Amino acid sequence: MARQDDTILRKRFDGVLDAAELARARAAGTELAYCPLQQGWVPLAADEEGDLAPPLSWHVGRLPLFKQVPGRPVHPRPESLTLRVWVEDDLPIYRALLCDPSLWTWMLEDRPARLDDDTCRALIALSTEGTHHKVRVATLGGRPVGQVRLEYGADPAAGELSYWLGAAARGRGLGRQMVRRFLDRLAVQQPGIRRITARVHPGNRASVRLLEACGFRACDRAELGLAPRGRDDGSWLGFLRRADQGAGTSSELSP
């Protein structure tokens, strides 16, 4: 049962519930609502019933606006990420992020030979098209800082997770926040996906800790069915997260 001081008494702008809090709240029968401003689930207080949107409602124009209390920020978590799709206006930042050599240290793919505007525009278009993957850009204060992607496989109930963060966003807990928020939204929008795998270079210890904090566990690659691909010659570590494995509680770390 959710503790009174842990979930039920949380105010709307104390931040959205993470996967573990969401599971406890549902088990306790706590009324929940989807907050379109923070893009996540929050407890529904009795005096907020007219202020919160139904799940996945983006008709913001139909919702009453919140008034800011003088001297207090509307959103007290300045480093809270939002997720959205890439758009063409992101092109300069997208190109700058991809042109950083450090970004490619642990990437599965090789760095493209060319990263001019045309190449980056094509990559943005590819991220929003097709049915073989779901890609979201993580933004901080409206500025893109990283990307998270789920690639669908032959099994409609499975997918492979990958992600990256720009250099300025690393080491601040934003990677874990990005992945957990993506997984939380995936659980609501695509509940049929029950099995998510990931692969990590053995030298990327920060990514190992991130995945473990998000509910993944190390698994034998043969069990996962991860064939060598890209820069993975078969030596990369394999991880698995099932839908019934909530996110972990380790300290927030990012690659």
Enumerate domains of the chain plus CATH numbers. 4-62 (no CATH), 82-242 (3.40.630.30)
Distance between CA atoms of residues 83 and 86, nearest Å: 10
Burial string for 25-45 (b: 16+ CB within 10 Å, else e) reads beeeebebbbbbbbbbbbbbb
Tokens of 69: 């209390």
| Confidence (pTM) | 0.66
Structure token digits, residue 136: 């979201």
Helix (H) or strand (E) holding 108: none
Q: What is the per-residue pLDDT for 24?
A: 83
Q: What pLDDT does 242 receive?
A: 93
* pLDDT tens digits for range 203-215: 999 999 999 999 9
Per-residue model confidence (pLDDT) at position 250: 36
Ranges of the chain with pLDDT below 50? 1-5, 46-69, 72-76, 248-255
Q: What is the pLDDT of residue 36?
A: 58
In this prediction, residue 107 carries a pLDDT of 95
pLDDT at position 147 is 97
Q: How far is CA 164 from CA 111, 124, 202, in A?
A: 13, 15, 16
Report pLDDT for 248: 45
Helix (H) / strand (E) element for 137: namely strand 133-140
Two structure tokens written together for 85: 């799709």
Tokens representing 199?
Answer: 């692969």
Measured at the alpha carbon of residue 248, what is the angle toward residues 244 and 252, in degrees to the nearest 5?
Answer: 145
- DSSP string covering 16-77: ---HHHHHHHHHHT--EEEETTTTEEEE--GGGTTTSBPTT---GGGSPPPPPPTTS-S-S-
Q: Is 99 helix (H, G, I), strand (E, B) or coil?
A: coil
Residue 221 CB-half CA count within 13 A: 14
